[in-house]
């Protein structure tokens, strides 16, 4: 069952009954509802709800997140993401506050949760161009480094204390060689997709031969980048999109943030298209006490482009298979050569070959 | 005979109309959709204008890498199948570690990959090459 929440009065009624019960209110009514342009993987709705009675009486500005009709392998469902948001907040990360999770498919057709709506802009191409957003850019980069350090403070040793009673067995485990883990997974994905991709194989083989053990295994966000955080006129307001979290090498997140494919055209500002690397690294190193090793970052920037290329192929496959027809997904498939060129360039640089 | 303008030219003109006439009329929240349509049309127009050239070039290059001389003529369907077959062989070779050793062979594979990627990028997003 798929529901168009804005047009379906019965679904809205079911949603209101769920919210009233979850919030301990006498009555809930929808004051406003509109679809949000979200990621390609889930659907987001902006919902204003009025609660009458109970401790949270009044108007609540919320976001409802539900699974999209088809999914990318390795992305968590909404129940897992809800648990991750709680974990992130317990770790001191500026994540949106998750409020109520509904697993009952009778309400909305799929699991969903509601979180408090945080004001701000996420669109990467706007943040990169519009300097009135996000406050002074070096300060924003430094703050993002600090936030990432807080995420990486979650380890297999600290997670139980941060989120007592919650199981995180759904997080993909990591061996001491996270790079080799990734190579195995991406090769399997490519084999499942069927078509040959020699340039990606070139990247995968390089990652296989040059993998080094991680100095530490921590929680990794795996999509920490410009486009997945919110800023207002002053600075950062929230870190978003927790659906790819796993255990892994913390350096992989730093490389993902800095990789060329996530600079939205501002290639010379190597930290996410917003600043130089220095303030981002400085914020991270100061908050984590963990030094950043440039060779490891180079390795993980190659891994970043390989991973994004594999995900782009999976996104395009969702369109091509007819599971979810979408021009955005279709065009994602045409990002491949750009990502592959960067893989070749980075490997040439590592091997001392001029491009 | 072929009626004029041909498909590629029509596509180009349709895109110009979209960008210059229709895009300014779209509400802000639909502008991104309009830009995506324009981008898709631009890619399709470049491909239509080029025909089989990229595939033939790719086939020639990969054949040379594998030391084979044939496989350049033939109808489009064969061309596609032959190209896929050679790409598959190269992908397997790389994965098996047969292109690891530094030297002329690795550099030939490196050059071949770059030319193929650049040719595809010229169709998908030529701006990324400048």
Tens digits of per-residue pLDDT, A228-237? 999 999 999 9
Nearest CB partner across the interface for B91, out of A201, A335, A344: A201
Residue A38 burial (CB < 10 Å; 0-12/13-18/19+)?
middle
pTM of the model: 0.91
Indicate whether A174 belongs to any domain: yes
Indicate whether A222 belongs to any domain: yes
The CATH code of the domain that includes A49 is 3.30.200.20
Which tokens hold the place of A313? 């192929």
Indicate whether A1 belongs to any domain: no
Same domain, yes or no, for A280 and A318?
yes
Contact B113 A202 (CB under 8 A): yes
Decide which of A81, A116, A151 is a domain's last residue. A116
Q: How far is CA A216 from the centre of its chain?
A: 21
CA distance A148 to A136: 19
Decide which of A116, A150, A185 is a domain's last residue. A116
Q: Which pLDDT score, from 0 to 100, does residue B75 have?
A: 61
Q: Which pLDDT score, from 0 to 100, does residue A97 have?
A: 97
- Interface mutation vs chain B, best among A38, A202, A302, A325, most B CBs within 10 Å: A202
Q: Which pLDDT score, from 0 to 100, does residue A219 have?
A: 98
Q: Which pLDDT score, from 0 to 100, does residue A1 have?
A: 45
Which tokens hold the place of B79? 């061309």
Q: Which pLDDT score, from 0 to 100, does residue A173 have?
A: 93
Which of the residues in chain A have pLDDT under 50? 1
Same domain, yes or no, for A200 and A58?
no
Burial A41-54 (b: 16+ CB within 10 A, else e): bbbbbebebbbeee
DSSP string, A248-311: E-HHHHHHHHHSGGGSTT-TTSTBTTTB-HHHHHHHHHHHH-----HHHHHHHHHHHHHHHHHH
Decide which of A116, A145, A165 is a domain's last residue. A116
Q: Is A69 helix (H, G, I), strand (E, B) or coil?
A: coil
Same domain, yes or no, for A288 and A150?
yes
Residues of chain A neighbouring B102 (CB-CB closer than 8 A): 351
The CATH code of the domain that includes A235 is 3.90.1200.10
Same domain, yes or no, for A276 and A133?
yes
Same domain, yes or no, for A218 and A244?
yes
Shortest Cα–Cα distance, A235 to chain B (Å)? 24
Q: How far is CA B89 from the centre of its chain?
A: 19
CA distance A319 to A339: 20
**Which pLDDT tens digit goes with each residue over B26-62?**
998 889 899 999 999 999 999 988 888 888 888 999 9
Same domain, yes or no, for A263 and A281?
yes
Nearest to A272 by CA among A288, A286, A257, A289: A257
Indicate whether A232 belongs to any domain: yes
- Interface mutation vs chain B, best among A198, A203, A264, most B CBs within 10 Å: A198
Same domain, yes or no, for A207 and A258?
yes
Domain that holds residue A306: 125-350
Distant-in-sequence, close-in-space partners of A183: CB < 8 Å, separation ≥ 6: A204, A207, A208, A211
ipTM of the complex as predicted: 0.92
Long-range contacts of A34-37 (CB under 8 A, 24+ apart): A34/A6, A35/A6, A36/A63, A37/B29, A37/B32
Q: Is A62 helix (H, G, I), strand (E, B) or coil?
A: strand
| Mean pLDDT for the stretch of residues B66-84 | 73
**Which pLDDT tens digit goes with each residue over A30-62?**
999 988 875 555 688 999 999 998 888 999 999
Residues of chain A neighbouring B84 (CB-CB closer than 8 A): 195-196
CA distance A242 to A58: 29
Nearest CB partner across the interface for A202, out of B94, B121, B124: B94
């Amino acid at each position: 069952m798929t529901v168009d929440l804005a047009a379906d009065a019965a679904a809205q009624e079911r949603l209101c009954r769920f919210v009233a019960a979850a919030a301990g209110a006498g009555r809930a009514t929808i004051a406003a509802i509109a679809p949000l342009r979200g990621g390609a993987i889930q659907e987001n709705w902006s919902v204003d709800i009025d609660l009458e009675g109970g401790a949270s009486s009044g108007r609540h500005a919320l976001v409802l997140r539900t699974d999209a009709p088809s999914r990318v392998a390795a992305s968590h469902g909404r129940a897992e993401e809800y648990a991750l948001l709680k974990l992130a907040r317990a770790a001191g990360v500026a994540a949106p506050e998750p409020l109520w999770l509904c697993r009952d498919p009778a309400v909305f057709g799929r699991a969903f949760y509601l979180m408090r709506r945080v004001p701000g802009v996420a669109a990467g191409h706007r943040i990169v161009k519009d300097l009135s957003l996000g406050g002074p850019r070096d300060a924003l980069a430094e703050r993002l480094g600090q936030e990432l350090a807080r995420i990486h403070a979650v380890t297999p040793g600290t997670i139980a204390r941060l989120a007592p009673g919650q199981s995180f067995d759904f997080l993909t485990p990591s061996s001491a060689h996270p790079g080799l883990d990734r190579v195995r997974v991406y090769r399997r994905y490519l084999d499942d997709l069927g078509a040959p991709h020699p340039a990606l194989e070139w990247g995968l083989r390089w990652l296989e031969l040059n993998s080094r053990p991680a100095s530490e295994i921590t929680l990794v966000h795996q999509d920490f980048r410009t486009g997945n955080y919110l800023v207002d006129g002053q600075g950062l307001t929230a870190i978003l999109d927790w659906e790819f979290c796993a255990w892994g090498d913390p350096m992989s997140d730093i490389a993902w943030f800095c990789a060329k494919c996530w600079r939205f055209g501002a290639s010379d500002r190597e930290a996410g298209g917003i600043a130089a690397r220095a303030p981002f690294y400085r914020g991270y190193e100061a908050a984590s006490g963990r030094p950043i090793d440039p060779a490891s970052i180079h390795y993980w920037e190659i891994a970043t482009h390989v991973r994004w290329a594999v995900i782009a192929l999976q996104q395009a496959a969702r369109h091509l298979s007819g599971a979810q027809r979408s021009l955005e997904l279709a065009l994602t498939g045409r990002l491949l050569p750009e990502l592959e060129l960067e893989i070749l360039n980075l490997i040439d640089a590592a091997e001392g070959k001029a491009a | 005979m072929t009626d004029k303008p041909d498909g590629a030219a029509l596509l180009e003109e349709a895109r110009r109309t979209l960008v210059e006439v229709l895009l300014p009329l779209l509400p802000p929240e639909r502008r991104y959709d309009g830009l995506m349509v324009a981008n898709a049309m631009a890619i399709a127009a470049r491909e239509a204008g080029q025909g089989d050239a990229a595939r033939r070039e790719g086939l020639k290059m990969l054949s040379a890498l594998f030391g084979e001389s044939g496989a350049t003529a033939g109808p489009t369907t064969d061309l596609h199948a032959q190209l896929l077959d050679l790409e598959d062989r190269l992908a397997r070779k790389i994965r098996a570690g047969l292109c690891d050793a530094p030297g002329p062979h690795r550099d030939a594979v490196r050059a071949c990959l770059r030319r193929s990627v650049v040719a595809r990028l010229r169709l998908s997003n030529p701006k990324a090459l400048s």
